[in-house]
Amino acid sequence: MHPPPPAAAAAAMDFGQNSLFGYMEDLQELTIIERPVRRSLKTPEEIERLTVDEDLSDIERAVYLLSAGQDVQGTSVIANLPFLMRQNPAETLRRVLPKVREVLHVAGVEMQLTAAVSFLTILQEESVSVHTYAHSFLQVILLHLEHRDTGVSNAWLETLLSVIEVLPKETLRHEILNPLVSKAQLSQTVQSRLVSCKILGKLTNKFDAHTIKREILPLVKSLCQDVEYEVRSCMCRQLENIAQGIGTELTKSVVLPELIELSRDEGSSVRLAAFETLVNLLDVFDTGIFTPDQHLRFLEFYKKLCTLGLQQENGHNENQIPPQILEQEKKYISVRKNCAYNFPAMIVFVDPKNFHLELYSTFFCLCHDPEVPVRYTIAICFYEVSKLLNSGVYLIHKELITLLQDESLEVLDALIDHLPEILELMSTGGESSVQENKLSSLPDLIPALTAAEQRAAASLKWRTHEKLLQKYACLPHIISSDQIYYRFLQRMFTIMMTNNVLPVQKAASRTLCIFLRYNRKQEQRHEVIQKLIEQLGQGKSYWNRLRFLDTCEFIIEIFSKSFFCKYFFLPAIELTHDPVANVRMKLCYLLPKVKSTLKIPADKHLLQQLEMCVRKLLCQEKDKDVLAIVKRTVLELDRMEMSMDAFQKKFYEKDLLDQEKEREELLLMEMEQLEKEKQQNDGRPVSDKTFEKKRRDTKTPTTLPKSIPISVPGPSGTSTPSTSKEIKKSKLIRSQSFNNQAFHAKYGNLDKCASKSSTAGYTSSVSGLGKTSVISLPDDSFRTRNASSTPTSFPSNPSLPSTSRGTGNSVDPKSSGSKDTQPRKATLKSRKSNP
């Protein structure tokens, strides 16, 4: 080995010297760090002192540790004091408590806090009588009220305030009230006077008005005029309790003058305390009984506050405004914001019947205020205003449109929190009974709703967009089915197909399903179903096919089982052949819900198709992650119990809910036929009153449940067919238009792979996917669509797809791997955690 050159050797030497000095410094630091560790180790003598004889009783051990133990041991004994009181109260009071008093004189903060908590626990557990507690513990509590540590003092004060609640009057007078006279003097510390304020506020509920007036009110007046603002503020906040103890007359003559004086105090915290106390005491002062003149002056003053600062010129440049003017404008905005917040209370003040005359112009100004915080606040209050106006809610139709069209998304976000309730009030005129829809007099509503959605979609605030789409699910019982179909359904499709935010896509999908659920024209329903299958379920983009599975999940939740089986069962399970692993994986997660829609023996052929698809996945799946999920899904499917053709107690509630969904789906079709007959007779459509009457006759609700825009699948109720004839008449003939021969031929070799499956117990029999039980529900009776006329907003197709995607609209696997083209395997794996 060649020696390093001289320069390198010198550099190495310098490095070594620097490293040596660095190591020495590190060693010194380590020595400093280790010193506390060494000190924390106990010597044999210390261990001997900490050791206690195991034969000692609990009382003896407590006395020993309080006498000769260390602080941590004494703290432990005091924390255990409630247990000792429960176990042996007499010996604890006689032997342990005197030692506790001695220790607390020199105790640290931790032991003091522990003692305050233990004394309070003993009081709450009622381990001893009130008399014994006052004799044994009260003096200890009073002694430590003025501890130099504020936290300790407050802890003892909280304990004392709880003790005051249970002590008799005589004990309170002699032990607490009489000493308080000297403790509240100016010669005492600020802490002592603060404690006196809180004690006085508590004592007023324990004495009669005469005693309060003679012994307590003089102290209260003195503390209200204290030289320290903290004391004045503290006493001011206790005046509410004092007023409740002395009654209305004394409050007006004694407390009210003090409050008025404190409201002019130089200290801002004192003025705030006085204002809050005055507000809390309004009921005591009988302020609800105004003379007409007082009522008018109060109302006019409120109106002026609502427009405070708006009369000034706003065309100036903010950079040229003096800072004091800007600060004043901020205060004006705050005042108008608070006026908007209290607007519902002012409606109660003037009576809703007088709203149009007294407050409408003010409400108009608040809704058109130039500042966003003011409009945001009135948008939050809009629902409360609507409820208060009741039948007069039509007066604020235009303001609803104004806020829906507001340029600030914050205002829109505040308004849509209660948008379904607001629209329902406006559609019924604030009355609970179902009437003709009154929104027909508001032609600007639908354009305002669509414009609001487009503004939310164009912004970066996707949560507002998602919330708005969820709230739009209320529209089926607000506007007509045709209006939804032509103005909202296509937009939901567009969002599902083009939006890049998954929660927004799912919200649009769920709302679209609800629109479909309550659509009253069979032709339109079939067009929507066809579009869902063709553009999502059979779409070239794997992202669209994933959204189709989301839609299937919503359909299972919202529609009847028969509806799903008729239209979506086969297109859904056909995705077991999808070329993208993420789609197959998501379908596997959905399969238990898919199977739950089947009823045996009516759906025996669908169960066989499901079994074949699952077996193919077990035999041919190449992706290890998908295969693992398939195996878990098979075990879950095998444990599932299936429905059959008679009621069973286990599924009773679910079956009634599903039956109710079927009955309402049938009712929608019956109403469609009724509308056609009515139009043929006199050219007029069937009114909502007729539909409501029909619904009552069939005991089926038509309005959406209140929570359906968020999570509830549909109307629930208990209703059963009246006779077997009605059951038979209402049964639906499920569509079997798929080609069984072609389907079986396609999967004819799957039985050969069954033995290769690593999951035991899975058979090809009808019950191979689970146990069976018996249920009888009316089948779907959806009629065949007449394709002679189709709306222009949807593509026309002579037949509704109900077979597999491979036999209908073939898709090139090479172009099915991504939103546009086939992605790399790594791209697919990245989405598996979020199927």
pLDDT tens per residue across span 213-251 = 888 899 999 999 999 999 999 999 999 888 888 888 888
CA separation for the pair 241, 262 (Å, rounded): 17
List, in order, residues 6 or more apart from 768 with CB less than 8 Å away: 611, 638, 762
Q: Which of 399, 345, 331, 411 is nearest to 375 (CA)?
A: 411
Give the residue carrying structure tokens 């209050």. 381
Q: What pLDDT shows up at residue 208? A: 83
Q: What pLDDT shows up at residue 437? A: 54
What Rg value do the Cα atoms of the chain yield, rounded? Answer: 39
Q: Which residue has the higher pLDDT, 526 or 440?
A: 526
Q: What pLDDT shows up at residue 322? A: 79
pLDDT band at 705 (very low <50, low <70, confident <90, very high): very low
Q: DSSP assignment of 679-741, as one string?
A: HHHHS-PPPHHHHHHHHHHTT---SPPTTTTTT--S-------SSHHHHHHH-------S-HH
Q: Please tell me the chain's helix, strand, coil percentages from 3-state DSSP, rounded to the nearest 5.
A: 70, 0, 30
pTM above 0.85, yes or no: no
CA separation for the pair 325, 333 (Å, rounded): 12
382-419 pLDDT, tens digit each: 999 999 998 899 999 999 999 999 999 999 999 999 99
Q: What pLDDT shows up at residue 690? A: 55
CA 555 to chain CA centroid, Å, is: 24
Q: What pLDDT shows up at residue 211? A: 85
pLDDT band at 117 (very low <50, low <70, confident <90, very high): very high
Q: What pLDDT shows up at residue 206? A: 85
Q: What pLDDT shows up at residue 781? A: 34
CA separation for the pair 393, 429 (Å, rounded): 6
Q: What pLDDT shows up at residue 789? A: 36
In single-letter form, the type of residue at position 109 comes to V
pLDDT band at 694 (very low <50, low <70, confident <90, very high): low
Q: Which residue has the higher pLDDT, 456 or 657?
A: 456
Structural contact between residues 235 and 218, judged by C-beta atoms closer than 8 angstroms: no
Average pLDDT, the chain: 77
Q: What pLDDT shows up at residue 40? A: 53
Q: What pLDDT shows up at residue 573? A: 93
Q: Which of 588, 575, 638 is nearest to 764 (CA)?
A: 638
pLDDT band at 286 (very low <50, low <70, confident <90, very high): low
Cβ neighbours around 143 below 10 Å, total = 13
pLDDT band at 430 (very low <50, low <70, confident <90, very high): low
Token readout for 685 is 């459509």
Residue 740 has pLDDT above 90, yes or no: no
Token readout for 8 is 């390198």
Residue 504 has pLDDT above 80, yes or no: yes
Structural contact between residues 178 and 194, judged by C-beta atoms closer than 8 angstroms: no
Q: What pLDDT shows up at residue 442? A: 66
The mean-pLDDT minimum among 131-145, 312-326, 445-459, 634-648 falls in 312-326
pLDDT > 90 fraction of the chain, expressed in percent and rounded: 42
Choose the most confident range, by mean pLDDT, from 52-66, 175-189, 301-315, 535-549: 535-549
Mean pLDDT of 729-758: 35
Q: Which of 28, 91, 24 is nearest to 62 (CA)?
A: 91
Token readout for 391 is 């039948």
Q: What pLDDT shows up at residue 48? A: 61
314-342 pLDDT, tens digit each: 555 556 677 888 888 999 999 999 999 99
pLDDT band at 452 (very low <50, low <70, confident <90, very high): very high
Structural contact between residues 178 and 139, judged by C-beta atoms closer than 8 angstroms: no
Give the residue carrying structure tokens 């599903």. 658
What would you measure as the largest C-alpha separation in the chain, in angstroms?
A: 114
Residue 257 has pLDDT above 70, yes or no: yes
Residue 749 has pLDDT above 50, yes or no: no
Q: Which of 733, 735, 752, 741 is nearest to 807 (CA)?
A: 741
